[in-house]
Chain A
Amino acid sequence: MPDLEDQLTALAGAIEWPTTPRLRVSLPARRGGLGWGRPLAYAAAAVVLIVAVLLAYTPTRDAIAAWVNLHVTINRVQQVPTPSPRPSAALGERLGLGTPTTLNQAQARLAWQVGVPSMLGGPDEVYLQQPPTGPSGGEVTLVYAQRTDIPVSGLTGVSVLVTEARGRVDEIFFQKTVGSEATVEQVTVGGHPAYWISGHPHDFAFVDANGNVHGESLRLATNTLIFDHNGTIVRIEGDMTRAQALQIANSI
């Protein structure tokens, strides 16, 4: 009989392990290898904290964040919820966008500059969400009902949604929960990291400064480009191509 240690060595190939998940990590560029600046270090520490918070709110998660940067965590899951039929209520109500307003009125109530993509022209509708239902800095959504070359989405009922929320780098973090059929690509907008999520609807949620999770419970998101525009987190959603989304983003 083989020696016990030989038997153990031989047994290694027969041990059943859980399938190793594909861990895909994409991180912000390091600053020339000189280490993390002080603000960045604070933000990174906050990410770990917030990720832990987010995990507690993700009961269906089968896989952990595939992409992590200062603002965004993206969780890869086996299944996302089935989109519910769109009710016939007013657009803002059925999509949970907040209170209808105008661009000027929204701007007057926000302490930060709302970015408007010139490529799309003026928005057809504008919605504002503020605490307690919205994040601490407020959130504005620009609705573009129909635009040439961008079909009306079956999920949202409009061509493009541009949603913006402001927060300090350690204040607001966003979470995307995407299914296995969605693809996530790192792209660049204005020289900053951005994320293009496409191919399958996904959930969206974020955590505000008080640790409260705000979820888009009324709908799933379609193709989305997420990026940081001078401290404002911008989401551009619609059944558009990546090139179209980048063009819109670069026109803000």
Chain B
Amino acid sequence: MEGRPADDSDLISRAQRGETAAYEEIVQRYQQVAFRTAYVITGTAADAEDAAQEGFVKAYRALDRFRPGAEWRPWLLRIVANEARNRARSSGRRHHLELRLIEGFRPGDAAQSPEAVAIASDERRRLIALLNAMVDEDRLVIASRYFLELSGEETAAALGIPEGTVKSRLSRALARLRAQVEEAPLA
């Protein structure tokens, strides 16, 4: 995503040379997106934390295979997401990611685009309800792209599908959501 600090490659190079402090900096920098990505997949905070932690450990062990100049975030998220999927599979639980809104959220609470102001509280609730009623495949791809704010490459890594499939799946999911919205228009 845009806005990522420019010195990731420096940190990674230092970590590859054995500087654990550099890797700890990487962990701090990416722990939120790693945890949330795992949460989208596992549906529980505990499993997501486990998956994120193990993902970082595995990524560290595989640092020698990280290609200089490559994008770090999709590489990391692919590992974390694999951990999350394995954990979700082994738990035997079929989770359903339930998207929720922050209680009492006001657009001014966070840096928002002008569009945020345009969406009233009841409209947000209605949209979330429609999203939660969608099939998992649709909800996950929308959550990854719009709420986790992952790139196409990162979404592909997180969902374990080709990037081209992300585009087609997202397109279909948006079309279905748009149809739902138009069927019962937001206020």
Contacts and interface: CB of A to CB of B under 8 A. Distances in A.
B31 interface: yes
B49 A15 contact: no
B94 interface: no
A18 B36 CA distance: 8
Interface residues of B, number: 58
B161 interface: no
Interface string A40-76: 0000100110010001000001111100100000000
Contacts of A218: none
B10 interface: no
A2 B58 CA distance: 42
Contacts of B107: 10, 13-14
B57 A68 contact: yes
Nearest to A51: B54
B119 interface: yes
Nearest to A26: B20
Interface residues of A, number: 45
A2 B119 contact: yes
Contacts of B110: 13
A14 to B, nearest CB: 4
B183 to A, nearest CB: 13
A26 B186 CA distance: 49
A25 to B, nearest CB: 5
Residue of A12, A13, A23, A29 contacting most chain B CB atoms (<10 Å): A23
Given A20-B35, A21-B35, A14 B101 contact: yes
Contact of B115 (A6, A29, A44, A62): A6
Contacts, number: 137
B45 interface: yes
A4 B178 contact: yes
A44 B103 CA distance: 43
B102 A9 contact: no
A31 B18 contact: yes
B57 A11 contact: no
B54 A4 contact: no
Contact of B35 (A5, A23, A68): A23
A61 B45 CA distance: 12
Given A13-B111, A21-B35, A30-B18, 5 more contacts: A10-B119, A11-B124, A25-B56, A36-B61, A55-B50
Closest 8 CB pairs of A and B: A18-B45, A10-B116, A30-B18, A8-B146, A10-B115, A64-B53, A6-B115, A16-B100
